[in-house]
Amino acid sequence: MTTTPTNTITPPRPTTIFSRTSFQGASKEMSFSSVPASPPTQALSEMDIGSTVTTPAVTRPSSPIEALPASPLPSGKHRVAIIGSGSWGSALAKIAAENVWKHRDDFHREVRMWVREKHVNGKKLTEIINRTHQNSRYLPDIALPKNLVAVPHLKDVVKDATLLVFVTPHQFLHTVLRELAAPGVITPGARAITAIKGVEVNGTDIQTFASLIESKLGTPTSALSGANIAIEVAQEQFCETTIGVPSESDAKLWYSVFHSTNFHVSCIPDVAGVSLSGALKNVVALAAGFVDGLRLGGNTKAAILRIGLQEMKGFCMEFFEGSKPETFSDESAGIADLITTCYGGRNRKCAEEFVKTGQSFDKIEQKLLNGQKLQGTATAEEVNNFLVARKRAHAYPLFEKVYQISFKGVSPQEIVRGL
């Protein structure tokens, strides 16, 4: 079994990139230097991308963290590629593009974002994004940095990239990995991070998407998850996120890509815990949506959240050796993300609609999600199949009930029976 699996406020700046669950010897302060100029008002497509830009020493931005791990590229700079362009992918791309521009001594200033080409009002979505600097389909009315470039071909997006950010719908991940695994596509020495929620199940084996990416591409892979509603992140409302990392070097790199004044990053050495919490909370959110659809009230919903958190933690501790319970109790990826998702996420919303209308989740997804994919139902099915294969479904009654209601025609009113 695989076991690795719009107002803004300015909060106090953290003193370290590492969380309470930290790496040994990582107590040295590592923080951002002063913020230089914003991305240019002129689009990069209108500039000489290949030219060498010399910045006077007095204004040249310093490294966000001392001694970032070296880039394998001849330039010595890291290049970020965003694989996915939905609302969450676009929000993360916005943060990454802003950060690499501020710290362009360490990063190539252009960030490429893979967009599966669609037509919006007769025009290509990539052309709309690159001309208007807005993702009108998935993240409308949010200004994107002009150094963020939408690209329709995956190989062009990852060319010379050293830092790969996976944020595609989970249904497309295998197709993406097959293309990237071809010889010569991925830069040797590249690192990856996944913000995709879900798990991979094969009989009695279960694997996180971080582990899947690492096994297919040979890239050290981290996982990002937290109480992060995409539109609120894009609007720069203060929030926190958690990154599970395999090493301190990965922590330094991903912190420098994503940490900002209003998007606080906590790095912990628990890739599996962050991955699993991000996946399993969507199953609990379906249960919360059933409760909302039944109008059962705050007491019942609070009970569902408590039971759900216990099952999330128990599942991870039982099947992923080395996972830490503190990930669920102390980190944004745990209890904070569960609360946010059970009150404001798409899985809760669709589950409530499921109860109220009796429509299938496929129809509800088409009606409410604007072409995006529902994650909780797929995860509920995968987790149930795994637990049945392991003869452990009885130990996780909430997960079992969500599966039965979603796929077996059991009445939503049964959600609280036998818990």
The owner of tokens 């394998």 is 72
Domain range list for the chain? 72-269, 274-416
**Neighbouring C-beta atoms of residue 174, cutoff 10 Å:** 11
Amino acid (one-letter) located at 62:
S
3-state secondary structure of 413: helix
Catalytic residues: 281
Q: In angstroms, rounded to a whole number, what is the distance separating the alpha carbons of residues 103 and 61? A: 6
Alpha carbon separation from 85 to 65, 89, 258, 379 (Å, rounded): 28, 5, 16, 21
CATH number of the domain at 72-269, please?
A: 3.40.50.720
pLDDT tens-digit profile of 342-361? Answer: 998 899 999 999 999 999 99
Fold exhibited by the domain 274-416: N-(1-d-carboxylethyl)-l-norvaline Dehydrogenase; domain 2 (1.10.1040)
**Which residues fall within 8 angstroms of residue 182, CB to CB, at 6 or more apart?**
none
HSE, side-chain direction, 13 A CA sphere, residue 106: 24
**Neighbouring C-beta atoms of residue 18, cutoff 10 Å:** 22
- Planar angle of CA 372, 373, 376, nearest 5 degrees: 145
Q: In angstroms, rounded to a whole number, what is the distance separating the alpha carbons of residues 98 and 95? A: 5
From first to last of its 419 residues, the chain has per-residue pLDDT tens of 444 433 333 333 343 456 544 554 333 333 333 334 456 544 444 333 232 222 233 332 333 445 689 899 988 999 999 999 999 999 999 999 999 999 989 999 999 999 999 888 889 999 999 999 999 999 999 999 999 999 999 999 999 999 999 999 888 999 999 999 999 999 999 999 999 999 999 999 999 999 999 999 999 999 999 999 999 999 999 999 999 999 999 999 999 999 999 999 999 999 999 999 999 999 999 999 999 999 999 999 999 999 999 999 999 999 999 999 999 999 999 999 999 999 988 999 999 999 999 999 999 999 998 777 888 999 999 999 999 999 999 999 999 999 999 999 999 999 999 89
**Which residues fall within 8 angstroms of residue 230, CB to CB, at 6 or more apart?**
86, 87, 88, 90, 91, 139
The owner of tokens 């790496």 is 23
Q: Kind of pairing, strands 221-225 and 191-194?
A: parallel
